[in-house]
Amino acid sequence: MATPPPPGIYVPVPTFFVSKKAANYDPVAAPVDIETQIAHSLYLARSGIRGLVILGSTGEAIHLTNKERFEVLSGVRQAFEKEGFKDYPIIAGTATQNIEETVEQLKGAKEAGAQYGLTLVPGYFAGASTQEGIIRWFTSVADRSPIPILIYHYPGVSNNVKVVPATFETLAKHPNIVGCKLSHGDVSYHTQVASNPSIDHSKFATFTGLGQQLLPVVTVGAAGAIDGSAGFFPKSVVRLYDLSVKNQPTDDEVRERRLLQFKVSAVEELVVKYGTVGIKEAISRLRKLGDPDGTRLPLFGGIPGGDAEWAKWQVLIDALEEEELKL
């Protein structure tokens, strides 16, 4: 029986591309920058992040070829092994809606060194999708996948297809489906999955995709978060998780986690507003890694407004950076 990823904080890492200044820069499809990918991944592992999601929505999975997918995954895995992070959890995203191609990507992910797959809910035929069709689609993928998979429910990139709690209850019984990432704001749905007594939560872990929800969803059984802002404030989000899972926190710890959740939630609005573009901007400005304009078309440029827009967030970012530097 497959086991889910260990509880904690995971980061959906962006895929880094070479700078415009590089000799091999291509404005249509800049080559992947494995060196920066590795540097960012090691920075996160050394900061207490429990594992990585590579090639998810933040990682622009739909913009990469299968060859590039393998290069990114295997490059990070080899670096982890070399630097003493043996068996460090890597979850590889898939973003195709063809079952056969999804399974091929999962096979490639295993070959590259990933232990899990994060499989996006198919959403092209949103109007005609049924819960039974979703169950059959994921069952078919899980039956054929060489690695355990998690269901990736992100209505914002799946044409607003909804997966209801009863569907998760059914799919959680599959021996090769070990969890889910819920990237939406419906805490009631989180509760109906993470607290469902009919689900064996030792075999099926529920992760939120939003650090904004970390404290409340952990209290209803979530295993942690796969959070974009942890890509540039890793220690702060890990600290929030550690405080959130305490069963008998002191009064000081209650106050600390509420204030820290406020600061994380406020900064996370940058991620909600600008997605991977905002994440890359923050990683570049705060951690000096990558190029804020390092995306692939149709994504183009950094955050709209550049320095002027960044300045609007500065007070919130400085407040969380103060926490980060304490840890």
Is 181 an annotated catalytic residue?
A: yes
* pLDDT, tens only, 211-253: 999 999 999 999 999 999 999 999 999 999 999 999 999 999 9
Residue 263, in any domain of the structure:
no
Asked whether residue 34 is assigned to any structural domain, the reply reads yes
The answer to whether residue 135 is domain-embedded is yes
d(CA 223, CA 116): 16
pLDDT digits (tens, 9 = 90+) for 248-259: 999 999 999 999
Cα–Cα dist 86/104, whole Å: 25
Quote the tokens at residue 130. 């049924």
Domain with 193, as residue range(s), is: 8-234
CATH number, position 26: 3.20.20.70
For residue 19, the model assigns a pLDDT of 84
158 found inside a domain: yes
Q: Count of domains in the chain?
A: 1
- Residue 152 inside a domain? The answer is yes
Catalytic residue among 181, 203, 263, 280: 181
pTM of the predicted protein model: 0.96
Q: How far is CA 92 from CA 79, 120, 220, 246, in A?
A: 16, 11, 26, 30
pLDDT of 200 strictly over 80: yes
The pLDDT value recorded for residue 278 is: 96
Q: Please state, rounded to an integer, the average pLDDT across all residues of the chain.
A: 95
Q: Is residue 27 part of a domain?
A: yes
In a domain, 294, yes or no: no
The per-residue pLDDT for range 33-72, each reduced to its tens digit, is: 999 999 999 999 999 999 999 999 999 999 999 999 999 9
Q: Could you give the CA distance from residue 245 to residue 8 in angstroms, rounded to a whole number?
A: 10
Q: What are the tens digits of pLDDT across the range 67-124?
A: 999 999 999 999 999 999 999 999 999 989 999 999 999 999 999 999 999 999 998 8
Whether 143 maps to a domain, the answer reads yes
- Check if the beta carbon of residue 141 is closer than 8 Å to that of residue 130: no
